[in-house]
Structure 1
Amino acid sequence: MLRHQNGSLLQLEDAEIYYQVSGSPTGHPLLLLHGGLGSLEDFSAIAGSISEHFFVIAVDLRGHGRSTLGRKPLSYLQHQLDIQALIAHLNLNEYSVLGFSDGGIVGYRLAIENAAIRALVTVGAQWRISDQDACYEILSGVTPETWTEIFPDAPRKYSELNPHGNFAELVQSCTRLWTDLGPSGYPGDAIARIQCPTLILRGDSDFLLSLEEAADAQTMINGASLGNIPFCSHAAIEESPDIAARLICDFLNEPRKRHTDT
């Protein structure tokens, strides 16, 4: 299980980013980037399988878990810049990225810009959005109250990890991030510039990332592979951890591009 313990804080200009390392110190570095309104504990169900193979760096994104929100507006671009600062701080010359939901969106942005990424795995991660999409209405309607109705323990868990944080402010910041249609938001067609081996995973009933959207991403990224995990929804790594962990580890241990005719 992955829990908040024995971690470190990276001091940035306006925020502190919490991260902790585990696994094999001589293994290939693997960044774990969690989903919106979650924390590094999103990966608890698969952490044991992953840590056997890699030097794992699990991160709390800005405002989440034990990381502070800071003064800058929350955006996928800001998350990207924070992670790039952490990469530089840890002096990582080559690494892989596993991103769930929001973390996968950040992973796409990182892979577009950085040739040092050996492999990328995204789980339930959108890459484009329109205000006409059904999921846009879902995301724009999230409030502190509606989130707490679905996850009653969320405010308590957040305050335990981040006693000086403001849960309502974080939810409102995430809603603005999820509905950002500008260049600081979703990567869009720029994912076509990704060169590293990429595995796109989704739960068969994911209500945020449709099979069509995932298939379009596979088409956009040269040589990308697509996995549709049955009997689960958005949080496939929690709902079907054995299948998810096997796919992720098999791919990251031997990153490869899918053979295409073009």
Structure 2
Amino acid sequence: MDSRGHGRSTRNADPFSYDRMASDVIALMDDLTVSKAAVIGWSDGAIIGLKLVIANPGRVSRLFAFAANSDPSGIYDLSDSRMFENYSQRTRDEYEKLSPTPVEYDDFLEQMEKMWGSQPNITKSDLRNLEHPIWVAAGDHDEIVRRTDTLFIAENIPGAGLLIQPEVSHFSHLQNPHDFTQDLFRFLRAH
């Protein structure tokens, strides 16, 4: 699914939050009468997956969380990042093609930046209470999420798997979709 304000999903003036986006997932699952699901998330989607399993453990059977951070300090300063500038241009182009509000990208980005600057706030205690099959994954050249934060998440979830994919970055699913998909299927078959 597209998160609030992403892709073809709508948004309103309410501030973005990972908790709100996780509640959107639950609302969609309820609408589709899906009682429990395996969750696969990338970047913000991985954070939403963690929020789902923390707040609604009965609704998630397992979680593959690729490139999540636990709090804002878990990401690098991207203000001078040429890579992130290129990514932002790509997201702008896609937003303008897909969004029901195609001329409001700057407002959308401002809402996202406010969220990224103050969230998530996932604690060691939140992670230690999880009992689901979870793989915490990242690219070995992730230029957005600090490896120390990836390790913090994996080390504090009891029994979590840690997967560091070689020769890829935060954008592993685009850089090496074959290996990304094979790892994902390996996780799903194992649980």
| Amino acid in the other structure paired with 2:133 | P
Following TM superposition, by how much is the alpha carbon of 1:194 offset from its aligned partner in structure 2, in angstroms?
1.5
CA deviations 1:193-248 (Å, max 9, x no partner) are 22110011100010222332222211110100001111111111111212111111
Are 1:76 and 1:186, in contact at CA under 8 Å, matched by a contact in 2? no
1:245 equivalent in alignment to 2:159: no
| Amino acid in the other structure paired with 1:230 | P
CA deviations 1:127-184 (Å, max 9, x no partner) are 2233xx662x32xx49xxx966555443332122114241001111110010115xxx
SS at match of 1:179: helix
Following TM superposition, by how much is the alpha carbon of 1:65 offset from its aligned partner in structure 2, in angstroms?
0.7
Following TM superposition, by how much is the alpha carbon of 1:186 offset from its aligned partner in structure 2, in angstroms?
3.1
Match of 1:172 in 2: 110
| Amino acid in the other structure paired with 2:68 | A
Structure 1 residue runs of 4+, over 6 Å off? none
1:207 equivalent in alignment to 2:180: no
Structure 1 pair 68/205, CA: closer, same or farther in 2 (3 Å)? same
C-alpha distance in structure 2 between counterparts of 1:90 and 1:60, whole Å: 15
**How much is the aligned-residue C-alpha RMSD, in angstroms?**
2.1
Tell me which of 80, 86, 101 is aligned to 2:43: 101
Match of 2:133 in 1: 197
| Amino acid in the other structure paired with 2:160 | A
Match of 1:83 in 2: 25
| Amino acid in the other structure paired with 1:171 | L
Residues 28-47 of structure 1: matches in 2 within 5 Å?
none
TM-score, L = length of structure 2: 0.88
Q: Quick check: which one's helix share is greater?
A: 2
CA deviations 1:44-66 (Å, max 9, x no partner) are xxxxxxxxxxxxxxx11101111
Residues 116-135 of structure 1: matches in 2 within 5 Å?
116-130=59-73, 135=76
Match of 1:62 in 2: 4
Match of 2:164 in 1: 228
- Higher mean C-alpha displacement, 63-72 vs 197-206: 63-72
| Amino acid in the other structure paired with 1:79 | M
Following TM superposition, by how much is the alpha carbon of 1:99 offset from its aligned partner in structure 2, in angstroms?
0.3
Tell me which of 98, 105, 121 is aligned to 1:186: 121
Are 1:148 and 1:154, in contact at CA under 8 Å, matched by a contact in 2? no
Q: Quick check: which one's strand share is greater?
A: 1
Are 1:122 and 1:200, in contact at CA under 8 Å, matched by a contact in 2? yes
Structure with the greater alpha carbon radius of gyration: 1
Tell me which of 145, 148, 159 is aligned to 2:96: 159
Following TM superposition, by how much is the alpha carbon of 1:84 offset from its aligned partner in structure 2, in angstroms?
1.1
Considering Cα pairs closer than 8 Å and 6+ residues apart, tell me whether 1 or 2 has the greater RCO: 2
Q: Percent identity?
A: 24
Q: Gaps (5+ residues) in structure 1?
A: 1-58, 256-262
Q: Gaps (5+ residues) in structure 2?
A: none
| Amino acid in the other structure paired with 1:175 | E
C-alpha distance in structure 1 between counterparts of 2:84 and 2:71, whole Å: 23
Aligned length: 186
